[in-house]
Amino acid sequence: MIIELETETADRTREVGRALASVLEPRDTVVLTGDLGAGKTTLVQGIGQGLGVEDHVASPTFTLVHEYSGRLDIAHVDVYRLERVQDVLDLALDELGGPERVLLIEWGDAIADLLPEDRLRVELTTESADAETRRIVVTPQGPSWALRWERLEQILDPFRRPARRPLDEAAP
Ligand code: ADP
Ligand code: MG
């Protein structure tokens, strides 16, 4: 059960974030995964917009966690570097940003075992053919996302990745 999306610009990825924001609930965890520059922080910017955050959302590169308040409170974490994983452990993940916050965690796969079982995984991939295009795969994990899945599919429908042409058709 996955939803496969495609965005052609950073703004379009922010739009996906805004759409995702509309189904978020207190205590949700969203794991963002993908290479450096794939667009994880860009997507978080969109989620922030969707939750009515007025502050500028930037990568938590120098501080482990950025906290924002909007319709829901957000804790935005990036555990890219190994020492960050330890920092997150020291902070006690549960306490990050308070009990009701939505946790948006870049490179969260690295600490998957420590995260709530109920979480949404969003993977961004750069397509080699076109430097701007990103493929985004959304995977639900756990019962709370299973319940919201149909709604999520509807909301993300405008961003669906078009079906690829068969290889033989693509030949000149
Ligand atoms: P990450 O957090 O995954 O390292 P960032 O979101 O910080 O990535 O950076 C992504 C970069 O790629 C930004 O400079 C953004 O403007 C650019 N970009 C170009 N096209 C897209 C797209 N379709 N989606 C997201 N970002 C894009
Ligand atoms: Mg980032």
- pLDDT tens digit string along 46-80? 999 999 999 999 998 778 889 999 999 999 999 88
* Range with lowest mean pLDDT among 39-48, 80-89, 146-155: 80-89
Which ligand 1 atom is the nearest neighbour of the CA of 13? 24
Tokens 């969109």 found at: 46
pLDDT per residue over 9-22, tens digit each? 999 999 999 999 99
Q: Are strands 119-126 and 29-33 parallel, antiparallel or unpaired?
A: parallel
Q: Report the distance separating Cα 170 and Cα 172, nearest Å.
A: 6
Taking CB atoms and a 6 Å cutoff, what residues make up the pocket around ligand 1? 7-10, 12-13, 34, 36-42, 59, 106, 132, 134
Q: Which residues contact 1 (CB under 8 A, 6 or more apart)?
A: 139, 140, 149
Instruction: Output the CA 67–ligand 2 centroid distance in Å.
Output: 15
User: Would you place residue 87 in the very low, low, confident or very high pLDDT band (cuts 50, 70, 90)?
Assistant: confident
Residue to substitute in 42, 56, 78, 107 for testing ligand 1 pocket (most ligand atoms within 8 angstroms of CB)? 42
At residue 29, the pLDDT reads: 93
Q: Which long-range contacts (CB under 8 A, 24 or more apart) does 46-49 make?
A: 46/13, 46/14, 46/15, 46/16, 46/17, 46/18, 46/20, 46/21, 47/17, 47/18, 47/20, 47/21, 47/74, 47/102, 47/104, 48/17, 48/21, 48/74, 49/14, 49/17, 49/18, 49/21
* 119 has pLDDT over 70: yes
At residue 152, the pLDDT reads: 96
For residue 105, give the 3-state DSSP assignment: strand
* 170 has pLDDT over 60: no
Strand partners, 160: 5
Instruction: Output the CA 10–ligand 1 centroid distance in Å.
Output: 6
